[in-house]
């Protein structure tokens, strides 16, 4: 499995107190709390919450949820997060100066080549 493909167990609790909704927490991921009006929305929000929580952090070891204490309205679900994909969609761009040979700059201009896009694609390929 790729090191940027994460799978963590979470607890999805169903509530009926102020409407019907689901809350997602995890003893494995301190501070993780999100919710959704449906199970699907709760899972999608959990993916985003996990990625946001772990962005730039060391990934915690995955716990075995067998020993977790659950209420009657709780269920365990496994949430998959592709950190590379999430970062591509949620990372802002930064301005960065690079130096290239003049002949490449001339060729890029002549061919209407976006140098930033080419540099980004080369870095993604090199670092993946």
- Given this model, what pLDDT does residue 23 score? 97
- Given this model, what pLDDT does residue 53 score? 93
Q: What is the pLDDT of residues 25-52, one digit of tens each?
A: 999 999 999 999 999 999 999 999 999 9
- Given this model, what pLDDT does residue 69 score? 95
- Given this model, what pLDDT does residue 2 score? 66
* Shared-domain flag, residues 99 and 85: no
* Shared-domain flag, residues 67 and 97: no
* Shared-domain flag, residues 65 and 109: no
Decide if 27 contacts 39 (C-beta within 8 A).
Answer: no
* Shared-domain flag, residues 75 and 38: yes
* Shared-domain flag, residues 84 and 98: no
Backbone angles phi, psi at 57, to 5 degrees: -110, 165
* Shared-domain flag, residues 107 and 84: no
* Shared-domain flag, residues 84 and 28: yes
- Given this model, what pLDDT does residue 65 score? 96
* Shared-domain flag, residues 125 and 73: no
Model-level pTM greater than 0.75?
no
- Given this model, what pLDDT does residue 93 score? 73
Task: Provide the CB-side half-sphere exposure for 65 (13 A, CA).
Answer: 18
* Shared-domain flag, residues 76 and 100: no
- Given this model, what pLDDT does residue 75 score? 97
* Shared-domain flag, residues 62 and 31: yes
**Which residues lie below 8 Å from residue 37, measured CB to CB, with a gap of 6+?**
19, 20, 21, 22
> Whole domain around residue 49: which residue ranges?
5-89
Q: Write out residues in the chain with pLDDT < 50, as ranges.
A: none
* Shared-domain flag, residues 78 and 102: no
Nearest CA among 25, 17, 62 for reference residue 42: 25
* Shared-domain flag, residues 72 and 104: no
- How many domains in the chain? 2
| Burial of 36 (C-beta count, 10 Å sphere; 0-12/13-18/19+) | middle
Decide if 11 contacts 25 (C-beta within 8 A).
Answer: yes
């Amino acid at each position: 499995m790729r090191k940027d493909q994460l799978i963590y167990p979470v607890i999805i609790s169903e509530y009926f107190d102020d409407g019907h909704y689901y809350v997602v927490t995890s003893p494995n991921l301190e501070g993780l709390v999100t919710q959704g009006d449906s199970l699907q929305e709760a899972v999608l929000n959990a993916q985003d919450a996990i990625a946001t929580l772990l962005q730039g952090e060391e990934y915690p070891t995955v716990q075995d949820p067998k020993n977790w204490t659950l209420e009657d309205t709780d269920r365990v679900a496994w949430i998959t997060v592709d950190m590379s994909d999430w970062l591509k969609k949620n990372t802002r761009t930064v301005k960065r100066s690079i130096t290239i040979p003049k002949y490449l700059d001339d060729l890029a201009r002549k061919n209407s080549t976006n140098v930033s896009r080419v540099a980004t694609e080369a870095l993604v390929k090199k670092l993946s």
